[in-house]
Amino acid sequence: MAHNHNHAHDHAGHHHSFTRVSNVLVWGIALNLIYVIVEGGIGIYANSMGLVSDAGHNLSDVFSLVLTLVGIKLAMAQSNRRFTYGYQKATILISLLNAILLLVAVGVIVVESIRKFSHPDPIDGSLMSWTAGIGIIINGATAWLLMKDQKEDLNVRGAFLHMAADTLVSVGVVIAGIIITFTGWVMIDPIISLAIAVLILVSTWAMLKETLNLAIDGVPEGIDVGKLKEDIEKMPHVRSIHHLHVWALSTTVNAMTLHVLIDSRDYEDEVKDAIKNYALENGISHPTVEFETTPCGCEKTFEK
């Protein structure tokens, strides 16, 4: 059996990235928490459901940023005798919890918006616009700082989506405030709130599906096991492969195990290196290979 132990460089890169993102998250948490308090207070004072609902969503984003930070710290933790992979799997569970929290926020916003349709109140549109304008700066800056790393980690992507969505939401609230200031049409406020809910739902749905898939050890998105099997079987000295399994150890690290039928034990190192390099090129940093020279009668792997 051959194992890939050469992960030091890959792990060092993740550690550096995680450290940078952690610093961004700390600043994002502090700024957004202050903004939530200010926006919520002004929303209550100005009787704006748009501001109050946006403050509530921003509060859920603060929790999301905190959870993302906890997930990163757990991913960086060392493995031990009880948790031989460390706590990397916790990052997937945290990502799932983030998505669920967003869905709860959507439900609250929808309920409050419907209530506002039934009981419209006068709103200070100017105050509403100025407050949301501050949100554009804070949320936009946080999203921009997270943009670089959001493609590498599902948790960071979730935090980025929250901040990017909130930036657009704040733009919507500013527009609603301007409309109310010049027309007095207060019904635009719950309409904007419902638009916020739809935007959050759309941005969350894909992440929810992906995290559910990873939580039950589904193949991570972007990896085609059918093509992977086909490509490995085309490698020199490889007759066939079976017992192929690919799953996520965390939101950034993927693993693979497979049995490889080869022509001769003389080619083990050559084939192992080829498979290891191919796996790394396809986002799999933990490949484990078992070699065989005679069919074991258990070649079935998965149904296409």
pLDDT digits (tens, 9 = 90+) for 18-28: 677 888 889 88
User: CA-to-CA distance for 127 and 137, rounded, in angstroms?
Assistant: 16
Cα dihedral 44, 50, 51, 56 in deg (nearest 10): 90
Cβ contacts of residue 146 below 8 Å, gap of 6+? 21, 24, 28, 156, 159, 160, 163
What pLDDT is attached to residue 50? 64
Q: What is the DSSP track for 54-66?
A: HHHHHHHHHHHHH
The dotted CATH code for 2-215 is 1.20.1510.10
Give the pTM: 0.74
> Which pLDDT score is estimated for 299?
59
Residues 6+ apart with CB under 8 A from 37: none
Q: Is 17 exposed, middle or buried (0-12, 13-18, 19+ CB in 10 A)?
A: middle
User: What is the model's pLDDT at position 227?
Assistant: 94
**pLDDT of the residue at 231:** 95
Segments making up each domain of the chain, as ranges: 2-215, 225-292
> pLDDT, tens digit, for every residue of 70-80?
888 887 888 88
Contact residues for 84 (Cβ-Cβ < 8 A; gap 6+): none
Residue 4 is predicted with a pLDDT of 42
CB neighbours of 169 closer than 8 A, spacing ≥ 6? Answer: 54, 57, 135, 196, 199, 200
What is the CB neighbour count within 10 angstroms for residue 161?
A: 23
Give pLDDT, residue 168: 79
Residue of 1, 27, 300, 272 whose CA lies nearest to 146: 27
Query: What confidence score (pLDDT) does residue 8 get?
Result: 43
| Strands, E assignment, the chain | 2-3, 238-248, 254-262, 286-292
Q: pLDDT tens string for the chain (304 positions)?
A: 444 444 444 444 455 566 778 888 898 899 889 988 888 888 888 777 667 776 776 787 788 788 888 888 887 888 888 888 888 888 888 888 888 877 887 887 788 788 878 877 677 788 878 888 888 898 888 888 888 777 777 778 878 877 887 787 788 888 888 888 888 888 888 888 788 788 778 877 888 888 899 999 999 988 999 999 999 999 999 999 999 999 999 888 899 999 999 999 999 999 999 999 999 999 999 999 999 988 766 656 665 5
Q: Which CATH class is domain 225-292?
A: alpha beta
Spacing of C-alpha 70 from chain mean position: 14
Structure tokens at 200: 């959050």
Model pLDDT, residue 143:
87
